[in-house]
Amino acid sequence: MTATMMTATSGKTTCPYCGVGCGVNLTLPYSANEAVPPVSGDLEHPANFGRLCVKGSSLAQTIQSDDRLLTPMVGGHPVAWESAIKTVSAKIAQVVKDHGPDAFAFYLSGQILTEDYYVANKLAKGFIGTANVDTNSRLCMASAVVGYKRAFGSDTVPCNYEDLELCDLLIMVGSNAAWTHPILYQRIAAAKKQRPNMKVVVIDPRETATCDISDLHLAIKPGSDAAIFSFLLSDSVQAGILDQGFVTNHTNGFKAALAQANESTPSLSLTADFCGVSEQDLASLVDWWRDTAKTITFYSQGVNQSSSGVDKCNAIINCHLATGRIGKEGAGPFSITGQPNAMGGREVGGLANQLAAHMDFATPGAQDLVQRFWQAPNMATKDGLKAVDLFQAMEEGKVKVVWIMSTNPMVSLPDTAQVRRALEKCELVIVSDCKAHTDTTVMADVLFPATGWSEKDGTVTNSERRISRQRGLLPAPGEAKHDWWAICEVAKSLGFQSAFSYQSIHEIFAEHAALSAFENNGRRDFDIGHFSQISKAEYDALIPVQWPVPEGRPEGTKRMFEDGRFFTPDGRARFIGITPSFPKSRASQEWPFTLNTGRVRDQWHTMTRTGDAASLAKHTAQPYVEIHPKDAKRLAIKDKALVRLTSPYGEALLKAKVSRAVALGNVFAPIHWTQQFANASVVSNLIPQVVDPLSGQPESKHAQVRLEAVGGI
């Protein structure tokens, strides 16, 4: 056991993987030979009550990596932090002077902590003067954010995890929760076992592990989800289950949205035909929807990663508003985030179209308020570039310095050939990471060694608005530093001394909390003002709590909209008229297959951490493409044979997995494998840079491809 390990402290922290945000006990020091596992589920954490999935249980295997980045690097050479900071700040100052503030950009990640996000956002939007602060969370939940904002006037998740156990009908759309949010799935499965009358419906083009607990699986045509909810809206009126009182007193826009739904999906048979499902199956869902007041619609990437993802979210929300199934126990539209802190980033303005503390540039008076609070000298005045636009602007030479933090866009963004061209063109690429070698760190001019999980200290927010502490229980190895520290050092080197002179991370959290309530009495959407005077000891002892947490209400807020008041100017929710549409990238004669992408059970993102845990490779050892048996036979593709997938953007070589889980004409491939782990198998090579025009979220679930047998087993 190393001396480093001996100085560590046991304690409670939060899992760094998915948006469930499970509480974890880390018992230190440990060694591989310990009889007691060093990682266990926190019995007191309300997300998991002691459970952990296989990824969470394997966290100890990922703590000590042979590939840690241990010292700052400039031009491939190790340097002192001071020198690296000077190199970075000098270049930022020069490009801002010569080309304006929009020549700089941050590209952040749902893996970093809320406090890291807060100072990055403050530096860029208040002090450098650009809103070019975007994040890989754009790839997973941006459409859900815009859907909530259009309907509620704010990015507010109405429900909580307990509602999933209390509902009588759970409609899971575009989610393989059994693999992607395993602890939520386990909670749902346990609830269903206890209450056999509880119905679960899965709407997904693929038959996934989540279907194991479903009473009905609607294997829809890819991207046709909105039609189902458009029809449910019309049918709710026909069936007499409209909550007229709620619609009249708490909403606007119902008649127009209903008219559009009636026109788009005039009958059950036409809707079933549009979606490619049987009338009988659709009728079952319709019957259950009619009969079940306590209904949750649970949705994730399959809805969001679409060129019409925002409309799909609003089609779902419309149905809940029409029937008054919101703000009540076991009822509501519930978007589940992919990443551990996608929600925390949203809270502080970590998206290019946000300002701070749930305020946008378009929020009246918000820009002035934030500028005064920060005493900011160079306030950004307009939205910045969203992820895909940002990398396009980089290739065009408009963004000249990019600081990428804790993410691997060379694998995760669509059209990786374009991302490579963008990073090659960019004059200074700074990457903060705890790993020395990723597909993105090899593109960097400057590398900042970052602390990783169990070393980082701060807060994250899970899918049910619950703020939890990630605790720094292990000391940082080598020269690794916290991301917030590196940002503040660069800010100070740029001349912004006083605004970034934090002595401790709890001061950042307190400032963030104070901004959420600053001159803002009466605003209820995102207020955690209760924490604005938090002491270090209180911050260290913080127990999980759901926002809003306004002054005088330390217990937080379990469920939103119970009073039927929303965050629009008149307090009413908005119906949004929807016309269902298919994905932009559809199969054609030249590209006869539709590629769907997703995740496997035991890997996380681009495997930079889960790839270190040998036991996690046992579940799915290699990248693959799922192909229907009839398609495989027609193309002479044998199970386990190598297949070349080609799209208009690139190609990937994957092993065939012949399976009836996918429909004819569709294929599925997981996204995790990188050049590092399986050369030539990067699935994002194939994905177009098509985005939802409202959210900027890429349509990563839909690409046109053709297949060709390469041979070999």
Binding of residue 21 to ligand SF4 (CB under 6 A): yes
Q: Could you say which of 38, 46, 56, 327 contacts ligand SF4 (CB under 6 A)?
A: 56
User: By CB under 6 A, is residue 15 in contact with ligand SF4?
Assistant: yes
Would you count residue 302 as binding ligand SF4 (CB under 6 A)? no
Residue 17 within binding range of ligand SF4, rule CB under 6 A: yes
Closest approach of ligand SF4 to the CB of residue 604, in Å: 7
Instruction: CB nearer to ligand SF4: give 25 or 48.
Output: 48
CB 599 → ligand SF4: shortest distance, Å? Answer: 11
C-beta of 76: minimal distance to ligand SF4 in Å? 34
Q: Check binding of 45 to ligand SF4 (CB under 6 A).
A: no
DSSP-derived 3-state class of residue 36: coil
**Total residues in contact with ligand SF4, by rule CB under 6 A:** 14
Cα 200 to Cα 211: distance, rounded to the nearest angstrom: 9
CA distance 299 to 157: 12
Helices 225-238 and 279-291: crossing angle in degrees, nearest 10, is 50
One-character DSSP codes across 430-442: EEEESBS--TTGG
Q: Determine contact, residues 480/455, Cβ cutoff 8 Å.
A: yes
55 lies in the site for ligand SF4, by CB under 6 A? yes
Nearer to ligand SF4 (CB atom), residue 179 or residue 668: 179
183 is a site residue for ligand SF4 (CB under 6 A): yes
Q: Which helix (H) or strand (E) holds 574?
A: strand 573-574
Region binding ligand SF4 by CB under 6 A among candidate stretches 65-73, 177-185, 187-195, 582-590: 177-185
Question: Using an 8 Å Cβ cutoff, are 353 and 386 in contact?
Answer: yes
Residues between 481 and 510 that touch ligand SF4 (CB under 6 A): none
Which window, 50-58, 556-564, 576-584, 607-615, contacts ligand SF4 (CB under 6 A)? Answer: 50-58
Shorter beta-carbon distance to ligand SF4: residue 125 or 181: 181
Figure out which of the listed residues 8, 22, 232, 326 binds ligand SF4, where binding follows CB under 6 A: 22
Give CA–CA dist 582/311, Å, rounded.
11
Closest CB to ligand SF4 among 18 and 669? 18
Question: How far apart are CB 544 and ligand SF4 at their closest, in Å?
Answer: 13
First-residue to last-residue Cα distance in the chain: 42
Tell me the C-alpha distance between 154 and 383, whole Å.
17
Q: How near is the Cβ of 186 to ligand SF4 at its closest, in Å?
A: 8
Of the candidate spans 51-59, 205-213, 585-593, 637-645, the one that interacts with ligand SF4 by CB under 6 A turns out to be: 51-59
Distance in Å, CB of 669 to ligand SF4, minimum: 21
- Is 23 a binder of ligand SF4 (CB under 6 A)? no
Query: For residues 108 and 55, what is the distance between their CA atoms, to the nearest angstrom?
Result: 23
Residue 182 in the binding site for ligand SF4 (CB under 6 A):
yes
> Hey, which residues between 609 and 668 contact ligand SF4 (CB under 6 A)?
none
One of 8, 26, 39, 53 touching ligand SF4 (CB under 6 A): 53
- Which one, 42 or 699, has the nearer CB to ligand SF4? 42
- 347 contacts 358 by C-beta, under 8 angstroms: yes
Compute the distance between CA of residue 399 and CA of residue 397 in angstroms, rounded to an integer: 6
Instruction: Find out whether 237 and 251 touch, Cβ atoms under 8 Å.
Output: no
Q: Is 641 exposed, middle or buried (0-12, 13-18, 19+ CB in 10 A)?
A: middle
How many Cβ atoms are within 10 Å of 555's Cβ, its own excluded?
Answer: 9
Q: By C-beta, is 183 or 233 nearer to ligand SF4? A: 183
Tokens matching residue 225? 């989800």
Nearer to ligand SF4, 22 or 133 (CB): 22
> What is the closest distance, in whole angstroms, from the C-beta atom of residue 393 to ligand SF4 in the complex?
34
Q: Are 191 and 198 contacting, i.e. CB atoms less than 8 angstroms apart?
A: yes
Q: Which is nearer to ligand SF4, 13 or 308 (CB)?
A: 13
Q: Which residue is nearest to ligand SF4 (CB)?
A: 56
Contact 115, 458 (CB under 8 A): yes
Nearer to ligand SF4, 21 or 583 (CB): 21
In this structure, are residues 205 and 301 in contact, taking their beta carbons and an 8 Å threshold? no
Least Å distance between CB 20 and ligand SF4?
A: 4
As a three-state string, the secondary structure of 359-403 is EECCCCCHHHHHHHHHCCCCCCCCCCCCHHHHHHHHHCCCCCEEE
With respect to ligand SF4, which residue has the nearer C-beta, 224 or 407?
A: 407
| Distance (Å) of CA 682 to CA 98, 282, 422, 594, 658 | 37, 36, 18, 17, 20
Q: Which is closer to ligand SF4, CB of 52 or CB of 663?
A: 52
Q: How far is the CB of 244 from ligand SF4 (least distance, A)?
A: 40
Which residues fall within 8 angstroms of residue 304, CB to CB, at 6 or more apart?
140, 141, 142, 143, 144, 174, 312, 313, 335, 695, 697
Contact residues toward ligand SF4 (CB under 6 A) are 15, 17-18, 20-22, 48, 52-53, 55-56, 181-183
